[in-house]
Chains A and B, each alone.
Chain A
């Protein structure tokens, strides 16, 4: 049952990506292309995706997090870190370059697989390799920090 629910939630997320236009890399790149503002080719749609998503999530989280616990788990796993370390700048900086090169970020790339796109498949395979490499390097003894958690996935 829990598995089916998470599948359904993934489905809703994927439908949102398709309806919003995020599953189309051309739309993403045209949003990031500020040089297109003067040329009239700039596509501001993605700002509306973010606005819609953040509005619903902001209101929804404030309600849901008042519950004693989630329906399928013992507790909420909400990130608590507030420090600005080098990783929170270096990681997103690298991520943004990849995003700007192809117009894919992880969610839309996975949904693009369901379009039957071979380009999306190549991107996703490379993306998974990049994820594994980052986890491998983060777990090396030399990169372990005393002051911060070593899990790079903790938001």
Chain B
């Protein structure tokens, strides 16, 4: 386990930026800023003609750290403890579950809760619970 410092101010500000992006996307395209929904729709079958816009949004997500590095000369720490087999299993489960459950942390957790959606509340409580249970089993089961 790698210890991380408690960062309430930075996290609150970063969260506000995420919220700002969600509001801007709704105002511009009329769509929910759900990253799993946007990413999954980059693959066929295609149901509309929003491909380029979705790709641009994802490109913006990927470009953010590049911009931070250009402007500040460094990046905040990123510590990934999982090895390749765990990353593959985790990626498969995360991608499958997000599409199967119609959303992830952003679509249900941020946008859904903000719309007072009961489905999103159920989804958020469920993935928080299994996420907590998984970390507990991985770290404290002996």
Contacts and interface: CB of A to CB of B under 8 A. Distances in A.
Contacts of B80: 25-26, 102-103, 112, 117, 119-120
Contacts of B119: 79, 81-84, 88, 155
Interface string A119-141: 11011111111111111001100
Interface residues of B, number: 118
Interface in B1-40: 1-8, 10-37, 39-40
Interface string B79-94: 1111010111111111
Contact of A114 (B18, B66, B100): B66
A98 to B, nearest CB: 3
A33 B136 contact: yes
Contacts of B127: 92-93, 95-96, 99
Interface residues of A, number: 122
Residue among B11, B53, B62, B103 with the highest chain A CB neighbour number at 10 A: B11
B15 A52 contact: yes
B54 to A, nearest CB: 8
Interface string A10-30: 111111111111111111011
Chain A interface mostly:
helix
A79 to B, nearest CB: 7
A23 B65 CA distance: 10
A13 B23 contact: no
Interface in A85-127: 87-107, 109-115, 117, 119-120, 122-127
B105 A155 contact: no
A98 B65 contact: no
Contact of B62 (A71, A97, A113): A113
A67 B27 contact: yes
Closest 8 A/B residue pairs (Cβ):
A91-B101, A10-B60, A20-B14, A14-B64, A52-B15, A126-B91, A130-B95, A56-B19
